[in-house]
Amino acid sequence: MSLGNAIMNNYAFLLEMYEDSYFPEELVRKGEDILRELCLQIEQQKPQNLEQLYRLAHAATERFNDLQQEFEEQGSEIETAARECIAADFEAIAKAYGFEDADVEELIALREW
């Protein structure tokens, strides 16, 4: 899936998770898909303020909440290193789309991981 934002189109999503065999690659790929789809939603919906951005980010965070169960079923989990990796990617997305003031904790406020 090609993104209109050149920074995000070439961005290595969830790199630390891909590099760690503790995280099943097919599930990391699902996480990457969630983040790429968030980028597409931002490009299509063009949020005008942080509230609108947070709404999109919260929906993506809830999808990661659902993915957590799949990690557990495969003997893995979204633990500290994964949380930091995912949060950093949410922050990178916000900045790439012009939301430099976005609070990373608010972006992922609905997380259950």
| Rounded Cα gap, residues 76 and 104, in angstroms | 24
- Could you report the per-residue pLDDT of 20-66, keeping only the tens digit for each? 999 999 999 999 999 999 999 999 999 999 999 999 999 999 999 99
Mean pLDDT of 9-21: 98
Residue 76 has pLDDT above 80, yes or no: yes
Place of tokens 């969630």: 34
Closest CA to 32 of 16, 12, 48, 13: 13
Average pLDDT, the chain: 97
- Could you report the per-residue pLDDT of 80-92, keeping only the tens digit for each? 999 999 999 999 9
Closest CA to 111 of 76, 74, 85: 85
Residue 1 has pLDDT above 80, yes or no: no
